[in-house]
Structure formats: C-alpha cells, structure tokens
Amino acid sequence: MAQLDTTEKLTILADAAKYDASCSSSGGKKRDSRGGKGMGSTTGGGICHAYAPDGRCISLLKILLTNSCIFDCHYCINRKSSNVRRARFTAKEVVDLTLDFYSRNYIEGLFLSSGIIHTPNYTMEQIVEVARSLREDHDFRGYIHLKTIPDADPELVAQAGRHADRVSINVELPTASGLRKLAPEKSETRIEGAMGTMRTAIEDGADARRRYRSAPRFAPAGQSTQMIIGADAATDRDIVARAATLYSRFALRRVYYSAFSPIPHASAVLPLKRPPLMREHRLYQSDWMVRFYSYTPDEVGAAVDPETGMLPLDIDPKLAWALRFREHFPVDVNRAPREALLRVPGLGPKAVRAILTARRWRRLRMEDIARLTVSVKKLRLFIITDDWKPVMLADRADLRTLAAPKAVQFELFAA
Ligand code: SF4
C-alpha cells in the first residue's frame, strides 16, 4: 500500500464509507461533559443527523478503518478483487482525527466501520481499540457507532458494546439465497448468531443498569442492521417480511435500506442498473407503517402489487393499502379509534393526537381537520367529518388518480 498522508487517507476512507446508511444516533442515552468532566456529548442543542445527497451522514465522522478486505462480496466496492485505491488508518489516527474534528465542532461523534484485514478478530480488535482509547484515554463522551464483524470472537463484539452507543451487524441481503450468491464467504447463521448474542448482551446490560446505577452501559442506543436493496431478486414483499422478522427476533432499533449502487468493474452477477431511489424511500415508509402506525407486516405486504411483489413507486404504501382495502374507509374522525385514524392517508401520529384531543370538546368539521393537518386534499377522500362525507368511495374507479400526488420531475428521473 502506498504511503498516504492523513488527508489522502481521509478522502479515500470517508468516500468508501458512504455506502453505509446506518448512522442515525436516535435513541442514544444522554451523556455530556457539563461540570467540566471529559469532552463531548451525545445529545443537546444543535445536534442533527443530516444525510448529504451522496448518502453520508454529515454530523458524524463516518469512515472506514480500512477499505482493504480479504472478502470478495460481489456488491462491495472494497472487495478483494476490486481495483480501488486502498488506504488504512491506524487506531491512533482515527482517535486523533475524531478528537481533532470534535474540538473544531465539525462532528458530534464517530461512525466506524471497516473492511476485514488479516482476520475478523484482528479487525475487530482495531475497531474496539479506537472506541476504548476514545472513552478511556480521552474521556470522550460523544456518540460512537461501531460496525461489528459477525465472525469475530463474541468477547470482542461484547467489548465493542461496552464502549459504543450503538452497534450494528449488517445482514447485507434480504434473503439467504441472495447472501449465498453475492457474499459467499458470509453466513446467515453466523450473522444472526452474532445479532442474537448482541441482543442478549444489550438486554442484560439494560437490566443491570436498572438494578445498579453503577453498572456499565452496554450499547444504550441498541443495535441496527442494513440491507442492500436491488442487488438480488428479493421483492419488496420479501424485504418487508425479513425486516419484520429481524425487528422481532433481535429487538433492532432500525433496519436501514440501502439501494444498491453499481460499482466500477462490477461482477457479472450484479444488475447493471441501480434500483430507483424511490424504492428505498418506499421501503422506509413501509418500515414506519409497522413501527409507528400499527400495521402488521402481512398488512404492509398486502399493499404490494400481487404480481410483482413490489410496492408502487408513484404512491406511498399507506395510500396503496387504503386503495386496496377501501372497505375500511371513510373513517369518521369524530368517532373512530386511534388505530383507524392512523390508517387514513395523510394523517400522521401527531395529527391523530391533535384530532383525539380536539374532539373531546366539539364535533370536528372539515375546517378543523384542515387546521390540524398539512393538507386535506388527499385525506378528504378517506374521512367523514360533521359536514362532509365522500360518496361512493369503494366504487370510484378514479380514486387512485384523485388521491395520488401529481408526478414531479425528479420522480421521472428516479428510475
Ligand atoms: S466483508 Fe464488508 S468490506 Fe469486505 S467485501 Fe464484504 S461487504 Fe465489502
């Protein structure tokens, strides 16, 4: 590997990390340096986790320790056979960079991942050393998210959890067959085994903290994972089902969906085109339907096109579900329970809360709903108010046209 200075390494290794979408710090426990102890904080005014257009989370220092790798996953730009420029940080270089960037107020924390060098254990030791040094040598109290390596020794992975706020283990692909085809050196059994061990460790850690205030923290922001979308034949129905299983089996905080990006000198087993970015967006919306809108994964699965198994790209999955199951509408905003109101296209949890509060005092009219929501244009097709009732909803052939947003230029080019 050629001798590179820190700036050159940073250019290469920050760019290589942009394919990783798992960099939200939501759910992190509060830890700060008020009182003159240590430096950094996980929460507080001015902290936000924005995504740059190229996918990087710009409030964290988001880098790889190295983009060299002994594995050869077909979809990965850093795979062994890829002809990219390689670079590698030492653990101390990452520690120094993090502290330097933090002191300059560039970042609120660190997101660290890595290609696998020498062995999974050796790589994991280096990742853990960065977090250990930041926490123990420098009393760093900012946010740390570590990508862990499922093949590494469980004790090393546990050490990562002791220093990091969040840990993640990528399932990589939605199906076992996709993983076998595109990442043959990885194993679904080993990945899920590591996620199961991590779940137990996180729950034990939380339990110990409940009983003893002095018990050490263990990954207080939980674990997450990432799936690559569009590199294999998995349908949206497969992906929704897989995500639901992962949430329930491993108590994940987040499943991230990352649209596959064609890479230079790509393997012949990969598709030539990236999937529409809108597909990734629709999957995030379907994820929210299960996590915040009380839909079961099967119900979300019912919103897909029965023939293709894919969610529509031109309308959101909640609207797609409403159009398919019209018998559930219109919903009377003056009488319906919270669960039914949450299913109305255009109503989110905040608007539903406001409706439930307001209707305690008076019967709601369309003008009241207009004040409580961003727009009533779409949702008026699906609700009854004191002065409004849509007619023949279930029979209207043009309901989709009426409810769908007008196509905009960027969606034409999204594919
Ligand atoms: S192990 Fe990770 S870094 Fe290495 S080729 Fe596979 S996906 Fe890329």
Answer yes or no: is the C-beta of 71 below 6 A from any ligand 1 atom.
yes
Least confident of 15-29, 64-78, 390-404: 15-29
Answer yes or no: is the C-beta of 150 below 6 A from any ligand 1 atom.
no
State residue 308's pLDDT score: 94
- pLDDT > 60? residue 30: no
3-state secondary structure of 144: strand
Cis preceding-peptide flag for 220 (omega within 30 of 0): no
Answer yes or no: is the C-beta of 76 below 6 A from any ligand 1 atom.
yes
Query: 87 near 12, Cβ under 8 Å?
Result: yes
Read off the pLDDT of each residue in 142-160 and give the average, rounded to a whole number. 90
State residue 262's pLDDT score: 81
Please tell me the distance between residue 165's alpha carbon and the centre of ligand 1 in angstroms: 23
Give residue 220's Cα distance to chain centre: 17
Q: Which domains does the chain have, with CATH numbers?
A: 6-218 (3.20.20), 317-414 (no CATH)
What is the longest distance spanned by two Cα atoms in the chain? Answer: 74
Answer yes or no: is the C-beta of 79 below 6 A from any ligand 1 atom.
yes
Mean pLDDT of the chain: 86
| pLDDT top residue among 399 and 363 | 363
Cα–Cα distance for residue pair 109/22, rounded to 1 Å = 13
State residue 17's pLDDT score: 83
Please tell me the distance between residue 111's alpha carbon and the centre of ligand 1 in angstroms: 16
| pLDDT top residue among 206 and 394 | 206
The 10s digit of each residue's pLDDT in 355-392 is 999 999 999 999 999 998 888 888 888 999 999 888 76
253: which DSSP letter? S
**N-terminal to C-terminal alpha carbon distance within the chain:** 38
Least confident of 15-24, 77-86, 286-295, 302-311: 15-24
- pLDDT > 60? residue 206: yes
- pLDDT > 50? residue 414: no
Cα–Cα distance for residue pair 303/287, rounded to 1 Å = 13
Answer yes or no: is the C-beta of 114 below 6 A from any ligand 1 atom.
no
Question: The tokens of 268 are what?
Answer: 């012949």
The 10s digit of each residue's pLDDT in 169-198 is 999 999 999 999 999 999 999 999 999 999
Please tell me the distance between residue 89's alpha carbon and the centre of ligand 1 in angstroms: 17
State residue 37's pLDDT score: 65
| pLDDT top residue among 307 and 27 | 307
Read off the pLDDT of each residue in 77-86 and give the average, rounded to a whole number. 90
Answer yes or no: is the C-beta of 73 below 6 A from any ligand 1 atom.
yes
Cα angle for residues 34, 29, 283 (degrees, 5° grid): 135
State residue 171's pLDDT score: 94
3-state secondary structure of 175: coil
Read off the pLDDT of each residue in 109-135 and give the average, rounded to a whole number. 94
Q: Ligand 1, closest atom to CA 79?
A: 5
Confidence of residue 413 (pLDDT cuts 50, 70, 90): very low
